[in-house]
Amino acid sequence: MAKPNKKGPTKTVNVYCAKCRSQLYKYRKGGTGTLLKCFKERITQDFTNESCICPSCNSTFARETLIRGVPAFKIIGGKVSVK
């Protein structure tokens, strides 16, 4: 399978915790669909202290995994919102 584009998209979205509304990431997202996975190389700003755990409410919002051989976070459904 093909790896994700190194340059990545230019559209930046803010990723928030759905439970407490604190900001988790600024992420370069491609496409118009929902956010299912976050490639680590596309995260421009990371506001979390530990990976995949919200800094304010300590809820787990994702799992670390490899997608197409590239490190990524697999988002748990309903745990994040995107603006």
Within-domain flag for 2: no
Within-domain flag for 66: yes
Q: How many residues does the chain have?
A: 83
Kindly report each contact of residues 27-33 with a partner whose C-beta sits within 8 Å and lies 24 or more positions away, as own/partner: 29/82, 30/5
- Residue ranges in 1-83 assigned as alpha helix (H): none
Residues 14-28 have pLDDT tens digits of: 999 999 999 999 999
Closest CA to 80 of 22, 12, 10, 33: 22
Total domains in the chain come to 1
Task: Check if the beta carbon of residue 63 is closer than 8 Å to that of residue 16.
Answer: no
Within-domain flag for 3: no
Residues 35-60 have pLDDT tens digits of: 999 999 999 999 999 999 999 999 99
Within-domain flag for 45: yes
- State the residue range of the domain holding 58: 12-82
For residue 10, pLDDT beyond 90: no
Within-domain flag for 16: yes
Within-domain flag for 7: no
pTM for the full predicted model:
0.88
